[in-house]
Chain A
Amino acid sequence: MSKQQQEWGSRLGVILAVAGSAVGLGNFLRFPGQVAQNGGGAFMIPYFCALLFLGIPIGWAEWAMARHGGQKGFHSAPGVMGVMGKGAWARYLGVIGVLIPLAVYFYYVLIESWCLGYCWEYILALFGDPAVGMKKGMVMAEQVAASKEHFTQFTGAGADGSLFDLSGAAGGVHETSLVFWLITIAVNFWFLWRGLSKGIEEFCKWAMPAMAVAGIAVLVRVLTLGTPDPSKPDQSVEAGLAFMWNPKYEALSDPKTWMAAAGQIFFSLSVGFGVIINYATYLKKKDDIVLSGLTSSATNEFFEVGLGGLITVTAAFVFLGAVGTIEAVGTGTFGLGFKTLPVVFAQMGTLGNVIGAVWFFMLFLAAITSSLSMLQPTLAFFEESMGWSRGKGLGVLIPLALAGNIFVMYYSKDLMALDTIDFWIGTVLIFVMAALQIICFSWVFGVDKGIASAEQGAQMKIPAIFRFIMKYVAPVYLIVVFVMFCKQNLPDYIKAMESNPVAVRSLMFIGIVIVILVGMTAVGAKRWRAMGLDLDGEKD
């Protein structure tokens, strides 16, 4: 058994690691689409309400729970939840906190590899290669078609198993995609192997500033585009910003706007994702967590509102106009990011290849700082439930993660496996985990005791109003949003389950993973009891 103790090297390191986990593709691609579709500038009212009443309080609760559990020797969601929920029920439900990051990793690392692959293709385009399938001399309609076709080939979205067709039928795109997947997972496992401080923390400490620099560089270019085509004076930077930010107040009377805002804040901040509940367990008793939690949220908002809110839709509008942008926003995160933006970059000439390379490198950094955070909670759980060393834990985790990757890569038609896991695990279960956390914190452990615990070593106090928010507002807000979300989305996904065998197989695969994790939790509980740990929080 290993006695290797993981710990953070510095407070800045843990803040950047948590922020890196939260900042992802959604900040740059999903957020602007949500703003444009839900009332423009007016969307920011429900958005900031959700930040204040949902994101920040649940985030503080998660940080506090994790540090408290960490002081008792637990570094995984089942261990921490057992302490905070005071019993086996919470411990077993805590398995969700290990499942979410692991299952999301199954597909997220593929998206990450697409970003790296696209970045590389833009670098090659500087030397004359066609940029992501778009040859020189193509008119815009041909570029749109070529960009879509390239994305389909690169992701294997055309047919199940097509990514493994290495006959060269797709002009080497499948091979390129697989090579970048291998590079991406190798980089992920390398940093994970190096550990918390020397791996994840060190990487995030340079990756986060690099991401900010890349984002600001792209922002400056976008904001200085002016009116590139004088024959289309309506397609200017100001018109793009107007499209994005001019408020449409009538959207505020639509409950969907409020739900969209809450959903965006919720998923963007990664609360209930199972990462903070692992990362913050390595903090010391007198480490500040109130300001740290607030700073990681602020960093996420900087990337989301400050960069995502100004770049994507504005750039699309300048070259595609209102109709093209509305269509692009409607295609969702992947459509906007991987099909539309390459067409936008193509309109910028040679400089577009530089901007494309910088943009996809920034997305790759956003993705890798998130994916690194997804494996650490599972690895910590393997180590502490089974008493394994980090090496042995990785020896089990790597094949499991690869099996998940290959499953999603194989069932790639219409990205069905990816979409199914994203919905049931990466969306529905996050709501469940966050609700469990805030209920355990405020109602089982006790909100007064919880806030007192959070304020140990804190540089700032949690404002008194948050006592009420954490106990009543956040749980009710969360449950209302969850019920509305289910009402709106569940019927379609249940229908898909009936008609698509891949969706069923995806959930069966996840079911097997759940059985393994529950079994490990049972073994862990026996070990922890034998070690004399306070696994049911009886000494609190």
Chain B
Amino acid sequence: MLQTLIHAFAIMLPQAAGSSPTPASPHTLTAAGWTFMLVSVGGVVVWTAWCFYKVLTAPEANEAPPPSGYGP
């Protein structure tokens, strides 16, 4: 079942990305290559920036530190 799904997924993807089933020149970044690179790199950059924006603009908790089990 899992194998079938993976096969189906693999067949569908090139069509979804609009790329030709025949491989392009190995020395040229294809449209799909650009897409994967930009979405991946852009995605993590935007995700990281959003996280740091949220962290840096939020107030810090003001309370005592947790207890210690080191000893009396």
Binding site for B on A (CB under 8 A): 1-5, 7, 10-12, 15, 40-42, 44-45, 48, 67, 70-75, 79, 234, 236, 238-239, 241-247, 249-250, 252-253, 255, 258, 281-288, 291-292, 294-295, 298-299, 301-302, 304-306, 309-310, 322, 383-384, 387, 457, 459-460, 527-528, 531, 533
- What are 11 of the A-B contact pairs (CB < 8 Å)? A10-B60, A41-B40, A73-B67, A239-B28, A241-B33, A246-B30, A247-B32, A252-B10, A253-B10, A287-B61, A384-B69
Chain A residues, CB < 8 A from B17: 247
Note all chain A residues with C-beta closer than 8 A to B10.
Answer: 249-250, 252-253
Find chain A residues with CB under 8 A from B36 CB. Answer: 40-42, 44, 245, 247
Q: Is the CB of A305 within 8 A of B70?
A: no
Verify if B1 is at the interface (C-beta below 8 Å from A).
no
- The reply to whether B54 and A527 contact each other, CB–CB distance below 8 Å, is no
Task: Name the residue among A242, A282, A310 with the largest chain B CB count within 10 angstroms.
Answer: A242
* Given A73-B69, A79-B69, A295-B55, A286 and B28 contact (CB-CB distance below 8 Å): no
A284 and B26 within 8 A (CB): no
Contact between chains at B29 and A1 (CB < 8 Å): no
Inter-chain contacts of B19 with A (CB < 8 A):
247
| A309-B40 in contact given A246-B32, A252-B10, A298-B48 (Cβ < 8 Å) | yes
Which A-chain residue is minimally distant from B2 (CB atoms)?
A255
Do A322 and B26 contact each other (CB < 8 Å), given the known contacts A249-B14, A284-B65, A384-B70?
yes
Number of interface residues of B (CB under 8 A): 49
Q: Are B68 and A73 in contact (CB under 8 A)?
A: yes
- A460 closest partner in B (C-beta): B54
A3-B68, A286-B63 known; A302 vs B29 contact (CB < 8 Å): no
Q: B9 to chain A: which residues have CB within 8 Å?
A: 252
The interface of chain B, by Cβ under 8 A from chain A, is 3, 6-7, 9-11, 13-14, 17, 19, 24, 26-30, 32-37, 39-41, 43-45, 47-48, 50-52, 54-56, 58, 60-61, 63-72
Q: For the complex formed, measure the closest distance between the CB of A26 and the CB atoms of chain B, giving whole angstroms.
A: 16
- Docked pose: A135 CA to B54 CA in angstroms: 50
Q: Assess whether A246 is in contact with B29, with CB atoms less than 8 Å apart.
A: yes
**Inter-chain pairs besides A242-B29, A294-B51, 18 sampled, C-beta below 8 Å:** A7-B65, A10-B60, A40-B33, A40-B36, A41-B35, A73-B66, A239-B26, A242-B30, A246-B29, A249-B10, A252-B9, A252-B13, A285-B61, A286-B61, A295-B54, A306-B41, A309-B41, A460-B54
Chain A residues in 8 Å Cβ range of B7: 253
Asked whether A306 lies within 8 Å of B33 as measured between CB atoms, the reply is no
- In the complex the two chains form, is A285's CB within 8 Å of B63's CB? yes
How many A-B pairs with Cβ below 8 Å? 173
Give the residue name and chain of the B residue nearest to A380 (CB): B70
Q: State the Cβ distance, B29 to closest chain A Cβ, in Å.
A: 4
| Contact across chains for A528 and B69 when beta carbons are under 8 A apart | yes
One of A236, A247, A284 near B63 (C-beta < 8 A): A284
Question: What's the Cα separation between A1 and B69 when bound, in Å?
Answer: 11
Complex alpha-carbon distance, A2 and B69, angstroms: 11
Q: How far is the CA of A100 from the CA of B66 in the complex (A)?
A: 25
Q: Given contacts A249-B13, A459-B58, are A299 and B29 in contact (CB under 8 A)?
A: no
Cα(A14)–Cα(B26), bound, Å: 44
Chain A's closest residue to B3 (CB) is A253
- In the docked arrangement, what's the CA distance between A244 and B50, Å? 27
Q: Roughly how many angstroms separate A171 CA and B16 CA in the complex, as a whole number?
A: 58
- Chain B residue numbers with a CB within 8 Å of A459 are 54, 58
For B34, give the chain A residue with the smallest CB separation: A245
Chain B neighbourhood of A44, CB < 8 A = 36, 39-40
Q: Give B9's nearest chain A residue, CB to CB.
A: A252
Which residues does chain A contribute within 8 Å of B24, judged by CB atoms?
246
- B66/A387 in contact, CB under 8 A: no
B56, A457: Cβ atoms closer than 8 Å: no
- Evaluate contact between A387 and B27: CB separation under 8 angstroms: no
In the assembled complex, the CB of A227 is this many whole angstroms from the nearest CB of chain B, namely 10
In angstroms, Cα B55 to Cα A292, docked, is: 7
Residue of B nearest to A527 (CB): B71
Contacts of B40 in A (CB 8 A): 41, 44, 48, 305, 309
Q: Are B69 and A284 in contact (CB under 8 A)?
A: no
A428–B20 CA distance with the chains assembled, in angstroms = 41
* Complexed CA–CA distance, A310 and B44 (Å): 13
